[in-house]
Chains A and B, each alone.
Chain A
């Protein structure tokens, strides 16, 4: 029988439509390769991108030249523009403002064919450091309230170029999803005087059925009410609401667990398209006792159709306990 499950933070219901005996290999990957040709992100083509705002690994002092390992550039054709003042206005009961924001692309490697999950941990640390540095920098711009960091991997997940990259968008408003998460976490905190995510971690460690892996600072779980098969959350074990406050040791630990989690996913379903997104506290917030930053990794394995759009429900054919079990055993099976 299917099971309804409720996300303890958002109150979002999902349906576990358990398909008997469904294994990772039963999922059909409907992804086509991103077309080849000239790549604006490759070394030597720096003149086709806007000027870099951050770079790691280049030994010479010439900006926008080859020799880099990680490079952050503003989006050439951004969804929101950085220049201008916020102009909030109302039109009757409707609110609007001009499209101010920052849209940046983190080029994760100079090698066109590198795959994020297979990058060495030392290299991945630079990417996580770049997220932190850019959030801290954009925090100084008081027009912005939130920085959303995300990655699209695979064409089905929205990647338009094969060259490994992630993106960030600084927004003048709080995204609705983050607002709901903050509100849900605050409601829980007001009732129990504990962080809901700290409680989730504590319970997951105790039950040990949805834990994928952990290290000194982080834990990866398949959440109790996941939207898709193999959805994973990576959370700091000790309470922290601000991603950009992580030190180098924590970033190294994060890179390690991220790499391990994605390798486990890839071992279960090779080349699965996915999105990951960072949820952290809003810019210039004081430390939040009720909120806990984390990454959500959502594989693109199911489609969103009328029922999902209309209800906000998701239908997931694989219970997270089974997904966690496959993920735990995946690397061991390969070795």
Chain B
């Protein structure tokens, strides 16, 4: 079973994404901060990371750049409620940038694309 690390500080998003991803046949590991995300990324060796951007402490783009430093081939999907972080060139280190919405089909499609 493919393993997805989901880094997001919002419990509601964790629950929604976890349910959809588990229904899709993926194992989901949760982290609630960038720092915890990096720790779990090292411990769990996920196949893909879904990363929120606006989080307390280390933000998603800093977290992304640390993860890619360790493993440039690991697919990372940035998932944010905001479009404006696209202007941050650090976001280029990601493989996809998906804007959060109540319909998570875009996210699921991106996950399938990078894990197929």
A interface with B by C-beta (< 8 Å): 35-41, 45, 48-49, 76-79, 105, 160-161, 165
Contacts and interface: CB of A to CB of B under 8 A. Distances in A.
A177 B92 CA distance: 30
A37 B70 CA distance: 9
A38 B72 contact: yes
A160 B88 contact: yes
A37 B92 contact: no
B92 A77 contact: yes
A79 B89 contact: no
Nearest to B58: A35
B41 interface: no
B102 interface: no
Contacts of A49: 92
A45 B86 contact: no
B87 A79 contact: yes
A165 B89 CA distance: 10
B68 interface: yes
Main secondary structure of the interface of B (DSSP, over half): helix
Contacts of A79: 86-87
B92 A76 contact: yes
Contacts of B66: 37-38
- Size class of B's contact patch? 10 to 19
22 contacts: A35-B90, A37-B64, A37-B65, A37-B66, A37-B68, A37-B93, A38-B65, A38-B72, A39-B65, A40-B90, A41-B92, A45-B72, A77-B86, A77-B92, A78-B86, A79-B86, A79-B87, A105-B89, A160-B61, A160-B87, A161-B88, A161-B89
A79 to B, nearest CB: 7
B9 to A, nearest CB: 18
A102 to B, nearest CB: 15
Contact of B65 (A35, A76, A77, A165): A35
Interface string B54-90: 0000000110111111001000000000000011111
A77 B78 CA distance: 12
B91 interface: yes
Interface string B25-68: 00000000000000000000000000000000000011011111
Given A35-B62, A37-B62, A77 B69 contact: no
